Every structure is written in structure tokens, then in C-alpha cells.
Amino acid sequence: MATNITKIFLVLNSGSSSEKFSLYEGEDEVCSLYFEGIEEDGKKKFICTVTRADGSEELLSKKWDSLDEAFKEAKAIFEKEGFINDAHPLDGILVRTPAAGTYFSKHHIVDDETFEELEKAKLTYPLHIPGAIRGVKNAMAAFPGVPVMTMSDSEALTRESRKDAEYALPREIIDEFDLGRWGAHGSSYGYVMGKIKELGILEKKMVVCHLGSGCSVTAFIDGEPAYTSMGETPLEGLMSSTRTGSIDPTIGALLGDKLGAAEAIKVLNKTSGLMALAGSSDMREVIAGAEEGEAGAAAAYNMFVDGVAGKIGEFAAKMGGIDAIVFTATIGERSIPVRSSVIGKLEFMGFKLKNDAAMDKSKGYTNVAEEGSKPVYIIPTNEAAYMIKKAAELVDGVI
């Protein structure tokens, strides 16, 4: 069955104190609304910024008392702007769901089972799932009759081709908690690998580095995922802006005993990583601090680069070599210092960057490798485009 992706979808990004509504027609974002909290007279209020397709922004003068009100307001704004109406109704609402487990390794149209699974996932994802639950409930109330979908963050990685999907734990524990190395950033990897095939630059053994506020690395053999750095949760693998990355699990157990599980998970996710070492979660500030001789910033930068290069080297050993490396997401696409430092450690594997290795925005990708080097690509990711494609298939009954 052919899938028509020229549909109108609303993509939600529900944070603990913010709500973003991105409206798409097909894969084109036509308008977004960002509600965020501010302090006013000692009380929490919420303001909204409207961003249109031409990049223009407008801060609305109205303020709201809670994020729950944002949904009805969003509907009213989109209708007033003429983006949705009887002739152009919403085809679906997408809620990105970064939860692990067999159920959330697939995309779903929300039903009673979805709510049961979301409640179970709150134990492992206390920072993300409550916002997702709020988003789903409010979306269903504000847009009755419109399909609401939970979009898996691991679907593109849960393939039979994966060689590292299990943990060395007793089977009864794995079964009881539904544990596995599900991975994350699946929408990014799904989009980038689709783009690689579309551009005709697929190599047999490729490593894609998704480096943003969260960081991961995934290895592909013949375009299918073989190894990925994140596990049951995004904590496993690389250090990132505020996450520890892989650490001795005993530390987690000790923190859980002292602080309680939810608070321990918060420390590992929200106050660690670059923030803990350098005092900033922004890689640009970390690099600037390192260049000025700040010891914490230098340590954070070196640890970050070593982590990425080390994971690429690990996957090279597991695959018996690498034919091409791809950088994507904010840091991967924009940070010349990070790319240069990582590839500088991998010259022994046949990779070398040009001195002026910057992104060429006129194309969908750039090969920033020196002549004679194996390819090093920069490919901008578009996670929303991948989710929209999958949502269109879900609505049309293709998946």
C-alpha cells in the first residue's frame, strides 16, 4: 500500500516546564509554538513564542497559568493562523516517547494499553515519561478524534541485524524488567541512513555519530544497525551535556541507596557530564574554556573526544574496519574542533580531514575528508521528518 506523507501532523515535545508544538504539512514545518515558564510576581507563568515558516518570531502578549492550558491555546492559534480547519484537519499528533522495552520499540496509536505501558516506564524514565503522559492526555482532550501516536526513539535500531542487543544478566531478571540494549536517537539514525541510501553514498561498514545535547554512536553494516552505544536508557555509552555516560554500575546503586532511585537517576542524567566537569553543558563554552586554560573545561573536552573516538575504534574492531564516518546533530554538524579532534585520533585507520572542513549547506551532505582519505560526511539530521514518515505509515496501516 502506498503511503501519502503529505498529511498535517502536530509534533509535540513535552518538557518538564515547557511545551513545543511543531505543525508540519508533509515534511515541511509551517509553524511552531513554544510555551516556556517564567517567574512573575513570585508565581510561575507561561509565555508563548510563535515561529513561522519564514523564520519570523512573535512573542505573544498573553500569559498562562499552566502548561495544560497550552493545548487549547495552540489549537486556537493554529486555527486563527489558518493552518488547520475543516478543509485541512489534523491527521495525527506525534509524541516522541524515549522509553525502553518491547512495547516502546515500536510506534503506536494511543489506546488503553499505551497508558498502562507509559505508567510502567515512569520508574526507568522519571524525567521524560511524565511529560509524555501529560502531552498525550492533553492532546486527546484538546483535539478529540485526532489519532495521537507515541513515536518510538528506538524503532530504527531494534532490528535482527543488531549484534549487541542483550545484557549478560540472569534471564529471569531480563524477562521481569523487559531489559535490553534498545538504544536511542533512532529517529535521527533512521533519517540519516535513509538519506545515505538516497544520496548513493552507502558503504559496507559505516559509523554514524549523533553528537548533540545527547550523544551516541551507531555502527551499520550494509545499511543495517549492528552496534549502538546507548542501552536500556540513554545513560549508557558516551558522556554528553548533562549525562554521565557509562560508569561503574555500583555508583548508581550507591546513589540510589543514598538519594532514592528517582533522585539518583536525575543526578546521572541532569547534573553530570560536561556540566559537572566544566560548569557548562554548551560545547561552545567548554571549547572556549579549554582554549583559555580552564582545567575543568579541558578535562571535559578531552574526555568527550576520547569517548567518541574510543567508541568508533571499538566498533571498528567489532566490524573488522570502517569504510566511512558520518557526523550529525548540533555538535556533529557544527563543531569543527570536535570533528577535527576525533578524526585526528583516527588517522591510523585511514581518515583525515581537510583543513577547511566545514559544512556546505547547498547540498544534503558534505564530504570533509582530505583527498585520499576514507569519506567523512556531515549529514544534517531531521528527526521530525523520520517520525512523520512513520506516522503516515501508521495512519495508513502500512506498519
Q: What is the 3-state secondary structure (H, E, C) of the chain?
A: CCCCCCCEEEEEEECCCEEEEEEEECCEEEEEEEEEEEEECCEEEEEEEEEECCCCEEECCCCECCCHHHHHHHHHHHHHCCCCCCCCCCCEEEEEECCCCCHHHCCEECCHHHHHHHHHHCCCCCCCHHHHHHHHHHHHHHCCCCCEEEEECCHHHCCCCCCCCCCCCCHHHHHHHCCCCCCCCHHHHHHHHHHHHHHCCCCCEEEEEEECCCEEEEEEECCEEEEECCCCCCCCCCCCCCCCCCCCHHHHHHHHHHHCHHHHHHHHHHCCHHHHHHCCCCHHHHHHHHHCCCHHHHHHHHHHHHHHHHHHHHHHHHHCCCCEEEEEHHHHHHCHHHHHHHHHCCHHHCCCECCCCCCCCCCCCEECECCCCCCEEECCCCHHHHHHHHHHHHHCCCC
Partners of residue 209 on adjacent β-strands:
217, 327
Closest to 128 (Cα-Cα) out of 234, 228, 264 = 234
Q: Which domains does the chain have, with CATH numbers?
A: 8-152 (3.30.420.40), 200-383 (3.30.420.40)
> What does the block give as the cell for 349?
585507520
pLDDT of the chain, 399 residues: tens digit per residue = 445 547 899 999 877 678 899 999 988 899 999 999 988 888 889 999 999 988 899 999 889 888 888 888 999 999 988 899 888 889 999 998 888 899 999 999 999 999 999 998 887 787 778 888 989 999 999 999 999 999 999 999 999 999 999 999 999 999 999 999 999 999 999 999 999 999 999 999 999 999 999 999 999 999 999 999 999 999 999 999 999 999 999 999 999 999 999 899 999 999 999 999 999 999 999 999 999 999 999 999 999 999 999 999 999 999 999 999 999 999 999 999 999 999 999 999 999 999 876 667 667 899 999 999 999 999 999 999 999 999 999 988 766
Catalytic residue among 54, 65, 91, 153: 153
The pTM score is 0.92
Q: Which residue, chain included where needed, has cell 492526555?
A: 137
Cα–Cα–Cα angle for 255, 132, 194, rounded to 5 degrees: 100
Closest to 266 (Cα-Cα) out of 255, 277, 274, 257 = 255
- Let me know if 248 is a catalytic residue: no
Q: Are strands 376-378 and 366-367 parallel, antiparallel or unpaired?
A: antiparallel
The count of C-alpha atoms lying within 13 angstroms of the C-alpha of 338, restricted to the half-sphere facing its C-beta, is 30
